[in-house]
Amino acid sequence: MWLLDFDCCRYMSMDEAGIEQACAAFFRNDPYYPRPCGADAADRILWVEFKERFLTASRAILLEKRNVYEVDASLPERLMSKIEEKGLVLQKKKDDLAAGSFGDGPEI
C-alpha cells in the first residue's frame, strides 16, 4: 500500500490521527487499490482479498517489530474499518447523486 506515490510519503502517527490521515490518503490517491462497496461482485471479491492480505501483512510486520516499536496491534483492523465506513458514505453520496437526491436537503 505504501509503494506507489512514494514521493508523497510523509510522517504518519501510529494512533487515531494516523488512521484518519491514512484513510484520507487512501481515497485521495489514484484508485490503484480496490475500493470497498464495489459496484459488482468482482469488485467486492477484490476488496475482500485486498483487505485480508493487507491485514495478514500488517500482522506479520507488527509481530516482527514488536520489540522495536510499541504499536497498537489493532491499528490495521481499525484502518480497514475506517476505509469501509468512508466507502459507505462515498457510495451513498454517489447513489444519491445518481438518483437525483442530494441527501437531507430539499429536492430540486
How many distinct structural domains can be found in the chain? 1
Structural domain contains residue 108: no
Structural domain contains residue 40: yes
Structural domain contains residue 10: no
Structural domain contains residue 101: no
Nearest to 26 by CA among 81, 102, 95, 93: 81
Structural domain contains residue 105: no
Per-residue pLDDT at 54: 95
Structural domain contains residue 75: yes
Please state the φ and ψ torsions of residue 82, each to the nearest 5 degrees: -65, -40
Structural domain contains residue 45: yes
Structural domain contains residue 99: no
Per-residue pLDDT at 85: 96
CB-based contact 108:49 (threshold 8 Å): no
Q: pLDDT by residue (tens digit) across 27-44?
A: 887 777 888 988 889 999
Q: pLDDT by residue (tens digit) across 48-104?
A: 999 999 999 999 998 887 777 788 889 999 999 999 999 999 989 988 888 886 655
The DSSP line for 18-61 is: HHHHHHHHHHHS-S-S--SS-SSHHHHHHHHHHHHHHHHHHHHH
Which structural domain range is residue 70 located in? 15-91
Per-residue pLDDT at 58: 93
